[in-house]
Structure 1
Amino acid sequence: MSLKVLSALDVARIQLYHFKAIIIAGMGLFTDAYDLFCIPPIIKLIGRIYYVEEKQYRTTPTVVVSALVAIALLGTVVGQLVFGRLGDRIGRRSVYGLSLGIMVLSSIACGFSICRTRNCVLVSLGFFRFLLGVGIGGDYPLSATIMSEFANKKTRGAFIAAVFSMQGFGILVSSVVTMVVCKIFEATSHVSNGQIPEQVDIAWRLILMVGAIPAAMTYYWRMMMPETARYTALVEQNVLQAAMDMEKVLDIPMSQIAEDSLLPSYPPPSYPLLSKRFFRRHGYDLFSCAASWFLVDVVFYSSNLFQSQTYHRFIKDQPDVNAYELAFRVARFQAILAICSTIPGYWVTVYFIDRIGRVKIQMIGFFFMAMVYFAIGIPYKYFWSEKIGIGFITLYALTFFFCNFGPNTTTFIVPAELFPARFRSTCHGISGAVGKVGAIIGTVGFLWASRIPNNNGKPDPVRMTVALVFLGVVCLVGLAVTYFFTRETMGRSLEDNENDDE
């Protein structure tokens, strides 16, 4: 027997509140991408400030860059596990504002970073980025679950993908903010080539703090969102309250969603999380979601760090280029990549996700990513290591396009559709946490691939070849996991997908 309020949600027409929910839920993902992609140009500024020896600048060591990325990812693992579980235990809405609050405060704190000596700045920046990661991690399962439980079954995938696509705009905005800040400071500081003015130390802090503004602007609306009908009806067993909440935000008359009887139609199963019965019913799906997310994040975060080895051929990182201009060039490169590759990948997924399905898109993405990595990696030692040009950049951009028109988006969507309401947020958090472990492995792997330079000061071509081919193999493993283990969820209600019957 189906509850009327849930059936009404499954067939509800697209309304203004759906788009409002996309913006509200997507701001956490926006902040995630902003803080990840503002780091490369900031690292250039920090290198010019804190890695100067005998008036000769040095770039920030790769080990420091990887550590700053990894510490935020470690916080994300913690946030996904903790907030994912809290979302199922005390409600999505109850902890939704808390995760956003942590993101806002830690973004601001990253900008202050207490002191101005190198070791102190890096330690404090790492600590606050860990807290930022906790808030971002908490936002992943909550945003995906809330959007999936509000959406209708016909366009649910597109709505969740649209939430996730806010990452693309976060990348673009972080680049634009960096370029604007750098140009303003450069114009007002009257610097000459090679100089390192004290205002540079203010510029990178300001860039970090600006990222908190969009998230803070949505805090009020997050707190005003009602609890999802599925959590209220299926977990709290308050069907009447679920109907009342949905009447307030969606254009659905109470007569269509009120039950004839107030007795719940979906008594919750008695088995606990991670019990034998849980694994018998949901272990297959949990493995599929976690393994796919793990594999794509190994590739995705390695690719992001690989940008530093790509754009240094184009930005002309030389001593006579001032710090502002150097950071501007890095941000400009990222903005072009986002406009031409990353953002289109997200929105092609939004268009096709409810037409061809999650499984096919995930398989398409993994397959073409593998082919591109082989095309880059196999000839890297003999061709790309010395001749990086437009052909290499085009192939490199395609990895981001097919990552987003593929597993980077679908791994965010599928865990929010497969599991019962009382485990949904937790299982999404577990899947995402396993994925971020893969991301940490990716950052460490990239450190291995790029740490030892050759005589020209460039990454060792043999190591880079091995690393890039390995990423292609990882994508093929992801393709196999998707084909053999991932269930299609397109066009089905969440209750049909959850596979929670005997």
Structure 2
Amino acid sequence: MASDNNLAVLEALDSARTQWYHVKAIVIAGMGFFTDAYDLFCITAVSKLLGRLYYYDPAKGGPGKLPHPINNLVTGVALFGTLSGQLVFGWLGDKLGRKKVYGITLIVMVFCAICSGLSFGSTSGSVMGTLCFFRFWLGFGIGGDYPLSATIMSEYANKKTRGAFIAAVFAMQGVGIIFAGLVSMILSRVFLDLYPAPTFNENPIMSTQPEADYLWRIVLMFGALPALLTYYWRMKMPETGRYTAIIEGNAKQAAADMGRVLDIELDVESDKLSQFKAANQYTLLSHEFFRRHGSHLIGTMTTWFLLDIAFYSQNLTQKDIFPAMGLTKTAKEVNAIREVFETSRAMFVVALLGTFPGYWFTVIFIEKIGRFVIQLIGFFMMSIFMLILGVKYDYLRDTNKFLFALLYGLTFFFANFGPNSTTFVLPAELFPTRVRSTCHALSAASGKAGAMIGAFVVQTYTLDGNVKKIKAAIIALAFTNMLGFCFTFLVPETKGRSLEEISGEDGGGGLGGGQNETQMAATRSIAMQGNGRFEG
């Protein structure tokens, strides 16, 4: 039975038992995130190879290396594309519908992943320029997946398991990172067996196999495969019932679509829908939105921004962590393909032991202890571990390598069993249907702005390897996490509530304030019509 103020189709979605369509929605949305993570992180495995292939200068006496500005562009240009894509597709998701633009993101990713591997040019600079061009647009498609996948999953899920389902979609990012390392490791191993070569110390010229030019291209193009396999199923998904009913105002279509999905018969409730819509006409830039949800939006944007500064800055210690774990050697001790193998193996091990478990701990515990508590714990523990790493950096690096690696791994674990997951979940739950995708996009784009600061500003500051600078940077990141801890208090707990109850779309006060006059009038009108019912 629907509540007095909510629509039967929405009540049915909230109270539906977990069934096959939930699992299918997680897989369809999750495969997008698997592809996103693979495409974003596979470049790390082959970036050193690009330097050895295209920038070897015998006069410098060492293996070829991407100049720092070019390295930043190659590895980070996708972040700029992702930020842009989040804003554009997030807005389109509210204006045109979630499904209408959902498939476009995959098409962009497939096309640009293939074109990235086919990057061409007559000079080193032109090849890198072509690569950066296509990686920007690859990031653009990836960016669209953030708000659309989160919004679709939140609007399909029931209220008891919604957080776990959204977190499970995001957890596929961890699987994608693992596969980025695994695929690169397997392919480089195959190439290494086919094309053995001396180390750089033994023969500088012969240490970079010409065939390695195929290796990095295959690694990048592989990212098109999972996106291509997912496209058909994305197109088969119906528009979410919440968008069809609340935004399009098509009660009949919403009842038909969701009735077919849930295998039950639903009331159409056209008259009740018009009253429901009347209570929720305010826009993103209205005074009413900022009164009810302004602090929520500030909370989701600032926490994601602060998290990603720290999260994307952690690479600054990798050059010391990987050798400490015995996973990599210096570039002069290996040939080009062997270096790819060792780098990708290190990525795989860190992702498997540190990154991956944190994602799934969030899936398991998010409905038990809540988003708010997980985010607070994550920020706090990251602060503690980073503070220890910063204060004792040189001691840990030189004297206690096991503890050094352990603290590094725990920082990643509590990032993912913490704000890296919850900052994705909360914006998909807190805001009204009319602006849900846009608000998630604004929050995610703030995160990518933080990622750019971490990847470019923080890492550039420590580029010379000065220990004092590295220690200062890590300590500063610990305080950045504490700021994230503080800003978390702007975000309320959403566990166990329907999306309409959270946002106030059902005519109640929501989590951000009381009813306005329009909502109170609509609530009285809805109440007079009696209870909506559905059978199943």
The one-character-per-residue Cα deviations of 1:334-380 (angstroms, maximum 9, x if unpaired) are 11111111111000000110111000000000000000000100112
CA distance in 1, matches of 2:460, 2:209: 34
CA distance in structure 2 between the partners assigned to 1:75 and 1:353 by the alignment: 30
1:441 aligned partner: 453
2:242 aligned residue: 230
- Which amino acid letter does the alignment assign opposite residue 338 of structure 1? A
Aligned pair 1:9/2:20, yes or no? Answer: no
Q: Which of the numbers 284, 290, 294 marks the counterpart of 2:301?
A: 290
Superimposed CA distance per residue, residues 262-288 of structure 1 (whole angstroms, 9 cap, x where no aligned partner): 541411433322222221222111101
Quote how far apart the aligned CAs of 1:311 are.
Answer: 1.9
**Given the alignment of the two structures, is residue 275 of structure 1 paired with residue 289 of structure 2, yes or no?**
no
The one-letter amino acid of 2:457's match is G
Pairwise CA distance, 1:37: 2.1
- Give the root-mean-square deviation of aligned CA atoms: 1.6
Q: Distance in 2 between matches of 1:71 and 1:448?
A: 15
In the alignment, does 2:214 pair up with 1:202?
A: yes
- Which residue in the other structure is 1:148 paired with? 154
Give distance in 2, aligned partners of 1:72 and 1:267: 38
- Report which stretch shifted further, 355-364 or 58-67: 58-67
| 1:302 and 1:445 in contact (8 A); partners too | no
Contact in 1 for aligned 2:283/2:435 (Cα 8 Å): no
Summarize deviations over 1:99-147 as a string: whole Å, max 9, x none: 1111111111111112263211211111111101111111100000000
Question: C-alpha distance in 2, partners of 1:148/1:25?
Answer: 11
What TM-score does the superposition give when structure 1 sets the normalisation length? Answer: 0.95
2-structure distance, mates of 1:229, 1:151: 11
Q: 1:13 offset after TM fit, Å?
A: 0.5
Structure 2 counterpart SS, 1:166: helix
Larger Rg: 2
Q: Describe the SS at the equivalent of 1:319.
A: helix
Shift of 1:93: 0.1
Shift in Å, 1:198: 1.3
AA paired with 1:5? V
Q: Which amino acid aligns with 2:437?
A: S
Q: Secondary structure, in 3 states, of the residue corresponding to 2:433? A: coil
Q: Once the 2 structures are TM-superposed, how far is the Cα of residue 64 of structure 1 from its aligned partner?
A: 3.0
Deviations 1:189-244 (A, max 9, x none): 24333321211111001000001101110001001110000000111111111111
CA distance in structure 2 between the aligned counterparts of 1:15 and 1:64, rounded to whole angstroms: 48
For 1:259, what is the secondary structure of its paired residue? coil
Looking at structure 1, the residues matched to 121 and 214 of structure 2 have their Cα atoms a distance apart, in angstroms, of 12
- Counterpart contact for 2:305–2:448, Cα < 8 Å: yes
Match of 2:310 in 1: 299
Checking the alignment, whether the CA contact within 8 Å between 2:63 and 2:332 is kept in structure 1 is: yes
> Is the contact between residue 31 and residue 172 of structure 2 (CA under 8 Å) also seen in structure 1?
yes
Q: Distance in 2 between matches of 1:399 and 1:294?
A: 17
Name stretches of at least 5 consecutive residues in structure 2 with no aligned partner. Answer: 201-206, 506-514, 517-536
Q: Do structure 1's residue 181 and structure 2's residue 219 form an aligned pair?
A: no
- Answering whether residue 477 of structure 2 is matched by residue 464 of structure 1, we say no
The answer for the alignment partner of 2:42 in structure 1 is 38
2:531 corresponds in structure 1 to: none
Contact 1:79–1:135 (Cα < 8 Å) also in 2: yes
Cα deviation code 1:429-457 (max 9, x no counterpart): 011111111111111233333222xxxxx
- Partner residue, 1:455: none
Q: Which residue of structure 2 aligns with residue 29 of structure 1?
A: 33
Percent identical among aligned pairs is 48
Q: Partner of 2:331: helix, strand, or coil?
A: coil
Look up the equivalent residue of 1:248 and give its one-letter code. Answer: R
Amino acid at match of 2:268: E
Q: TM-score, normalised by structure 2?
A: 0.89
Deviations, residues 37-77 of structure 1 (Å, cap 9, x unaligned): 21222012112112211174133344433333332111111
* Counterpart position of 2:276: 266
Q: 1:222 to 1:306 in 2, by over 3 A?
A: farther
Q: Distance in 1 between matches of 2:120 and 2:31?
A: 27
SS of the residue 2:106 aligns to: helix
**Would the aligned equivalents of 1:113 and 1:124 in 2 still touch at CA under 8 Å?**
yes
The worse-fitting range, judged by mean Cα deviation, of 341-350 and 385-394 is: 385-394
SS at match of 1:367: helix
Contact 2:209 2:337 survives alignment (8 Å): no
- Is 1:488 aligned with 2:489? no
Q: How many residues align?
A: 491
Provide the rounded CA distance (Å) in 2 between the counterparts of 1:86 and 1:126. 25
Partner residue, 1:353:
366
Query: In the superposition, relative to structure 1, how do residues 286 and 335 fare at CA in structure 2: closer, same or farther (>3 Å)?
Result: same
**Kindly tell me: are residues 404 and 499 of structure 1, through their superposed partners in 2, closer, same or farther at Cα, counting changes over 3 Å?**
same
The one-letter amino acid paired with 2:348 is A
Greater CA deviation, 125-134 or 411-420? 125-134
Give the counterpart letter for 1:348 in structure 2: F
Residue in 1 aligned with 2:56?
52
Instruction: Select which of 450, 457, 462 maps to 1:450.
Output: 462
Structure 2: how far apart are the matches of 1:115 and 1:387?
47
| Secondary structure, counterpart of 1:14 in structure 2 | coil
Alignment equivalent of 1:424, drawn from 430, 436, 454: 436
* Secondary structure of 1:272 counterpart: coil
Pairwise CA distance, 1:305: 5.0
Tell whether the 8 Å contact from 2:252 to 2:270 is kept in structure 1 after alignment.
no
Q: Is 1:71 paired with 2:77? A: yes
Question: Which residue identity is paired with 2:411?
Answer: T
Equivalent residue letter for 2:447: G
Separation (CA, whole Å) in 2 of partners of 1:153 and 1:204 = 44
- Is contact 1:306-1:446 (8 Å) kept? no
Deviates more, 1:197-206 or 1:304-313: 304-313
Kept in 2: contact 1:282–1:499 (CA 8 A): no
Report if the CA contact (8 A) 2:389-2:396 is conserved: yes
Contiguous gaps of at least 5 residues in structure 1? 453-458
Q: Pairwise mapping of residues 257-406 of structure 1 onto structure 2 (< 5 A)?
A: 257-259=266-268, 261-264=270-273, 265-268=275-278, 269-313=280-324, 314=326, 315-381=328-394, 383-387=395-399, 389-406=401-418
Q: Is the contact between residue 313 and residue 459 of structure 2 (CA under 8 Å) also seen in structure 1?
A: no
Question: Larger deviation: 491-500 or 291-300?
Answer: 491-500
Aligned 1:46-125 pairs, distance under 5 A: 46-54=50-58, 56-115=62-121, 117-125=123-131
Q: Distance in 1 between matches of 2:34 and 2:100?
A: 21
Runs (4+) of structure 1 exceeding 6 A deviation are: none
Q: Secondary structure at the match of 1:196?
A: coil
**1-structure distance, mates of 2:362, 2:334:** 40
